[in-house]
Amino acid sequence: MVGDVLKVGPGDQIAVDGRVIGDGQSAVMAVGESLLIAWQPLLVLVTIPLHSAANLLSLWLLRRSAVLSAVGWVLIGAASLLAGLAVWGWL
């Protein structure tokens, strides 16, 4: 149905005959986190709880609106990417 949200796990396959909305927002966050951890490996101790908090926030927002959840991931991902670029002096 239009507006339904379906969570798909690794290796799951689902046949669709419509438009699939991807999860590109989390890829941006992963790049930002990777840059931070490469710069200072101990930051993994900070990024793990922050990533978990971002997941919980996303689920909380998703109960209200899929759009709010997507916007939340875009903002969190952008902040993560900007922080990762900043520590390497690429900003």
Sign of the Cα torsion 91, 47, 75, 66 reads positive
Q: Please indicate, yes or no, if residue 36 is contained in any of the structural domains.
A: yes
Q: Which residues are CB-neighbours of 8 under 8 A, at least 6 positions away?
A: 14
Q: Tokens standing for 36?
A: 């931070």
pTM of structure: 0.66
Q: Which residues are CB-neighbours of 5 under 8 A, at least 6 positions away?
A: 62, 66
pLDDT at 82 over 90: yes
Q: Please indicate, yes or no, if residue 9 is contained in any of the structural domains.
A: no
Q: Please indicate, yes or no, if residue 76 is contained in any of the structural domains.
A: yes
Residue range 33-67, pLDDT digits in tens? 888 899 999 988 988 898 889 888 888 888 888 88
Q: Please indicate, yes or no, if residue 40 is contained in any of the structural domains.
A: yes
Q: Please indicate, yes or no, if residue 19 is contained in any of the structural domains.
A: no
pLDDT at 1 over 80: no
Domain count, the chain: 1
Question: What domain range is 63 assigned to?
Answer: 24-87
Q: Please indicate, yes or no, if residue 2 is contained in any of the structural domains.
A: no
* Alpha-carbon gap, residue 72 to 66, rounded angstroms: 10
Contact (Cβ atoms closer than 8 angstroms) between residue 73 and residue 29: yes
- Residue 36 has a CB neighbour count (10 Å cut-off) of 23
Angle in degrees, CA 16, 7, 72, rounded to 5: 115
